[in-house]
Amino acid sequence: MIYTAKSRLALLDLNRERTRQLSPLTEEMALEFAIAARAKLETTWGIAELGVAGPGGTPYSDAIGISVIALSGPIDAAVTIRTNSDNREGNMATFTDRALRLLVDSLRSIKSIS
């Protein structure tokens, strides 16, 4: 798990100029990180999650109860989840459930294409 901006830049070989152009907590930014993880780890799939589970916010956003999840693989997909709750445990369960549903939906989509 890569949790800080410093670790993301160091471990994912992110293009600093590109990431500066992206708005925080957006599907576009999460997808950029998922693509970078996939490339760096030489895997079929990359996944990234950005968010604020609560109870506090972040320097990037006043939003609490938000998660942006992206997959990069045979197809790319992303989703934004907003609970508007500061219940960290509940938010994390909701975000995990939605991430798994995104993966399942993506796998089903690939199966229907082939």
Strand, helix or coil for residue 89: helix
- Tally of CB atoms within 10 A around 38: 20
Domains and their CATH numbers in the chain: 5-113 (3.90.950.20)
Q: What is the pLDDT of residue 7?
A: 77
pLDDT averaged per 10 residues, the chain (length 114): 71 83 94 94 94 88 91 97 96 96 94 76
Q: Whole-angstrom Cα distance, residue 44 to residue 82?
A: 28
Q: Using DSSP, state whether 64 is helix, strand or coil.
A: coil
How confident is the model at residue 57, as a pLDDT? 84
| 66-72 β-sheet, strand order | 46-52, 66-72, 77-82
Between strands 77-82 and 66-72, the pairing is antiparallel
DSSP 61: B
* C-alpha to C-alpha distance for 11 and 14, rounded to whole angstroms: 8
- What is the value of pTM for the model shown? 0.88
Q: Please give the helix or strand (H or E) that residue 9 lies within, else none.
A: helix 5-12
Residues 106 and 75: their CA atoms lie apart, in Å, by 7
